[in-house]
Chain A
């Protein structure tokens, strides 16, 4: 075991390197670019024994990675934002053909407006494409969750690809001290790649992705649903095994000081670190607040959410994606559905879009609102928590009329 200084992108590369990926096909996009660059460095220097296939787009990047993995190796790719949007169609190919790829997604808003910066809108738009989704709080989690994702994705009862989502810049470009285990420990944990179920082998040929009529399509989607259902238990088992081997404890949903909390904020990603800091600060002032960190968003851990939130009457859900046209953000919708039989007040908060910092002040403001609501002192909440007052007048331009 050694400590290393790494940003989120390098931690992702380190994890993929230690998983011994043999084919890399990544197309650079901010803020993921260092992943593509570093992987190419490692292949060029021979430190990573892999084939680096240069592709002309993210659509090809995932097509190559998916089919390479079908040929019997772990394949690596990574993307962000509009790159993930361009992969959209291939995401369904990967999951529907049951290819257990693990792909870091460096969260960045999808244009327009053009943004390079963090929000979860890119990954949330792909939440129904049959991929598992893990969200990281810090750089150590990027490394750890990627390793766990390999083990869960490749489980015979799951065989489903996984996105490991890390917040653009807040994690991808933030240097942190992390524990990097010995290669041998990683080998013992995830083992070598073994083709299962679907594979491309000239000695034993099979035809993958044939035209499937209405008499079988429903059942194949149901198989994917069952795999997702299985994934909850498998991920929990993988997390237990990870803790035994590496000493760090993970949960599909982490309840932070939620046991006796009057109000709880549900969140995911790097804002959870800030959230925990604010919880501690408010606890010192005698305010009973807690945070529920959703580590696994797909499959959605409804039962665990109920277990953590069932004693809480007033709950806030922070969505770092706009969920335009919905009644609230996607995380809020899921939490509402999970809690439908439990009497509680669930408020939707949207913020941290396009790189706007989710500041301790804003999280404190949310907790204060929730506390006032729970005490009956307040009815409405500020759904767009970090919105500027002049939202409708944000730009004025000169026009030649």
Chain B
């Protein structure tokens, strides 16, 4: 996860408000890039070999592989833009892109 995203979830121990001049923000109002998504990755867990290629190729770095879980590919849909790179890179083609809205 990017530093900005982490910052929003874990504030510094003593956050204080300061006046700043210019276009500055510490909370990024448009951070929910998941709202851009038109196609959504859908994993066929029967076919998945848990290799982690999707996680490594995700440009937003928001896929985790949790091998102990039956639904082992965990995607953070707050930030998944539906780019489809994971589906494209998957060596067993177990990820399909399905229409979420259109």
Cα A227 to Cα B21 with chains together (Å): 10
Cα A197 to Cα B22 with chains together (Å): 9
Q: Which residue on chain A has the smallest CB distance to residue B19?
A: A197
- Chain A residues with Cβ under 8 A from B102's Cβ? none
- Chain B residues with Cβ under 8 A from A209's Cβ? 22-23
Does A198 lie at the interface of the complex (its beta carbon under 8 Å from any beta carbon of B)? yes
Q: Which residue on chain A has the smallest CB distance to residue B2?
A: A205
> Main SS of chain B's interface residues?
loop
Q: How far is the CB of B24 from chain A (nearest CB, A)?
A: 6
| Complex interface bits, A137-178 against B, C-beta within 8 A gives 1, otherwise 0 | 000000000000000000000010000000000000000000
B contacts with A, residue count (CB < 8 A): 14
- Chain A residues with Cβ under 8 A from B23's Cβ? 96-97, 208-210, 212, 216, 220
Q: How far is the CB of B97 from chain A (nearest CB, A)?
A: 28
Is the interface on chain A under 10, 10 to 19, 20 to 34, or 35 or more residues? 20 to 34
Does A223 lie at the interface of the complex (its beta carbon under 8 Å from any beta carbon of B)? yes
Cα A144 to Cα B29 with chains together (Å): 44
Q: How far is the CB of A206 from chain B (nearest CB, A)?
A: 5
- Assess whether B7 is in contact with A205, with CB atoms less than 8 Å apart: yes
Does A98 lie at the interface of the complex (its beta carbon under 8 Å from any beta carbon of B)? yes
- Chain B residues with Cβ under 8 A from A227's Cβ? 21
| Complex interface bits, B1-34 against A, C-beta within 8 A gives 1, otherwise 0 | 0011001000010000000111111101110000
- Chain A residues with Cβ under 8 A from B3's Cβ? 202, 205
- Assess whether B12 is in contact with A204, with CB atoms less than 8 Å apart: yes
- Chain B residues with Cβ under 8 A from A202's Cβ? 3
Q: Which residue on chain B has the smallest CB distance to residue A156?
A: B21
B21 touches which one: A197, A206, A210, A212 (CB < 8 A)? A197
- Chain A residues with Cβ under 8 A from B4's Cβ? 205, 207
Q: Which residue on chain A has the smallest CB distance to residue B27?
A: A207
- Assess whether A197 is in contact with B20, with CB atoms less than 8 Å apart: yes
Cα A204 to Cα B4 with chains together (Å): 10
- Assess whether A207 is in contact with B21, with CB atoms less than 8 Å apart: no
Q: How far is the CB of B29 from chain A (nearest CB, A)?
A: 8
- Assess whether B22 is in contact with A207, with CB atoms less than 8 Å apart: no
Question: Which residues of A are at the interface with B, using a C-beta cutoff of 8 A?
Answer: 96-98, 159, 197-198, 202, 204-212, 216, 220, 223-224, 227
A204-B12, A207-B26 given. 9 additional CB < 8 A pairs?
Answer: A98-B21, A205-B3, A206-B20, A206-B25, A208-B23, A208-B24, A209-B23, A210-B25, A227-B21
Task: Name 25 A/B residue pairs within 8 A (Cβ), A-sorted.
Answer: A96-B23, A197-B20, A197-B21, A197-B22, A197-B24, A198-B20, A202-B3, A204-B12, A205-B26, A206-B24, A206-B25, A207-B24, A207-B28, A208-B24, A210-B23, A210-B25, A210-B28, A210-B29, A211-B30, A212-B23, A216-B23, A220-B21, A220-B23, A223-B22, A227-B21
Ordered nearest first, which 4 A-B pairs have the shortest CB separation?
A98-B22, A207-B25, A223-B21, A212-B23
